[in-house]
Amino acid sequence: MLSGKKILYLAAAIFLSLPVVSCRTSSNNTHTYRPYDERRNRSGSFSDDGTNTTRSKENKNIITPAGHGLVSDEWARLDIKLGRKDNKELYKELKRWLGTPYVYAAHTCGEGTDCSGLVMEVYLKVYDIKVHRNSARMLEENCKPIDVDDLREGDLVFFITSSDGHVSHVGIYLKDYKFVHASSSRGVAVDDLRQNYYATHFHTAARVITK
């Protein structure tokens, strides 16, 4: 028979041979938070205006879809510093429109608008200027073309996005290459003129003529 000491030694040896279980969660089980827009669209597909709807670390200039409670965050992430000479009323009005869905032939903040409807309403509210409802006529009858290097906030940027070669899209320039427009796939959003799609389809910059 085993003595009392031997039994204690044997029990201790068995205990020490058991695997150690930690109460800490393994680092392999932690989860990394991903922004809502990434979780919503994992395909990385391109929208009909050419921008990638999935956030990319390689392209920080792409502004992700506005709306869904992200409007204030979208605006806050913009690398735009306002100075004393900047038109605060313009930025305030455009911020109201961010996230408004795209609706052809509409022009109601928060409900729906197309690109020319957005420009028409903002110009009427901020500058008390009435411009044409059509982007091509807007350029032809309300504006004078200017050099891209002369762009300043409130100027308009026009694009040819259709195959017929006519002006078909317009946005309002801010500063630092950023402009606000009504994207057909994302609604009212802020984008960068240097993005490949907009640089490729850019037609002209223009300034509204005041009478």
CATH number for the domain spanning 142: value is 3.90.1720.10
pLDDT digits (tens, 9 = 90+) for 63-100: 333 333 344 555 665 667 778 888 989 999 999 999 99
Catalytic residue list contains 143: no
Q: Which region among 37-41, 111-115, 162-166 has the lowest average model confidence (pLDDT)?
A: 37-41
1 in a structural domain: no
Q: What share of the chain is helix, strand, coil (3-state, %, to 5)?
A: 35, 20, 50
What distance in Å separates the CA atoms of residue 188 and residue 100, rounded to the nearest whole number? 5
Catalytic residue among 107, 143, 169, 203: 169
Question: Is the pTM value of this prediction over 0.85?
Answer: no
Catalytic residue list contains 181: yes
146 in a structural domain: yes
Catalytic residue list contains 169: yes
Catalytic residue among 107, 115, 143, 203: 115
Query: 200, 142, 193, 136: which is closest to 169 by C-alpha?
Result: 136
Phi-psi region of 164 (alpha: psi -120 to 50; beta: other; left: phi over 0): alpha
2 in a structural domain: no
Number of domains making up the chain: 1
177 in a structural domain: yes
Domain that holds residue 93: 7-208
Catalytic residue among 107, 109, 143, 181: 181
